[in-house]
Amino acid sequence: MQTLSDDEDLIRAAQSGDMASLEILLDRHHDRIRAVCARVVGNHADADDAAQMALISIVRNLERYDGRAKFTTWSYRIATNAAIDELRKHKRRPTSSLDDEDQHFEPVALGNMAEATAARLDVNDGLDQLPEEFRMPVILRDLCGLDYDQIAEVLEIAPGTVRSRIARGRGKLADLIGSISPDGNQDATGGVQGTDHDH
């Protein structure tokens, strides 16, 4: 079981130049960081690049990490910045956001039509239709499990804004799911549109 104190010990050792501790720290957090990057950029190649950039940035700035924020929060901030940079870098490059093995998630205990429809929606396509300001809080909340205060810290916005943006992001995704017919086709309304759920 990984605990905060484990991370703190590793960080201290890494800050003192212990490469073995640094490697353990990076190994421990890679998957979490890479997952955020993957959801933000929407494809594996860019996710790998963004994750690598994030790890490098963590290494380069570890000396200045003072423990005031949790390491996970601090590293999420770096990861989201790296992912956003990667996203902007490739914005004009035509890419397929669909990775075959990641196209459709396996529904977990889904028992109703809405959730069954969600299973037919590509995660990355759905997130790609969200404005960045909504996408990031939703990912940090639903994928990373951060609370509103932590998300506010990562994104440097007010907790109230976090709450509002998560609601709007989820609302848009819910509308997108609702616009998909049970056979998996998106209806003529084009999915995400402004709705009365928007504020």
- Interacting residues with other proteins between 64 and 93 (CB under 8 A): 64, 78, 81-82, 85, 88-89, 91-92
47 vs 42: CA distance, rounded Å: 7
CB-based contact 97:82 (threshold 8 Å): no
**Of positions 72, 168, 179, 191, contacts other proteins by CB under 8 A:** 168
Other C-beta atoms closer than 10 Å to the C-beta of 141 total 20
**CA-based nearest residue to 133, from 95, 160, 161, 153:** 161
User: Does 174 sit near other proteins (CB under 8 A)?
Assistant: yes
Buried b / exposed e along 48-62 (16+ C-beta atoms within 10 A): ebbbbbbbebbeeeb
What is the smallest separation between the CB atom of 172 and other proteins, expressed in angstroms?
Answer: 8
What is the smallest separation between the CB atom of 1 and other proteins, expressed in angstroms?
Answer: 19
User: Does 7 sit near other proteins (CB under 8 A)?
Assistant: no
Alpha carbon of residue 89 to chain centroid? 17
User: Does 128 sit near other proteins (CB under 8 A)?
Assistant: no
**Of positions 115, 132, 133, 187, contacts other proteins by CB under 8 A:** 115
User: Does 191 sit near other proteins (CB under 8 A)?
Assistant: no
User: Does 150 sit near other proteins (CB under 8 A)?
Assistant: no
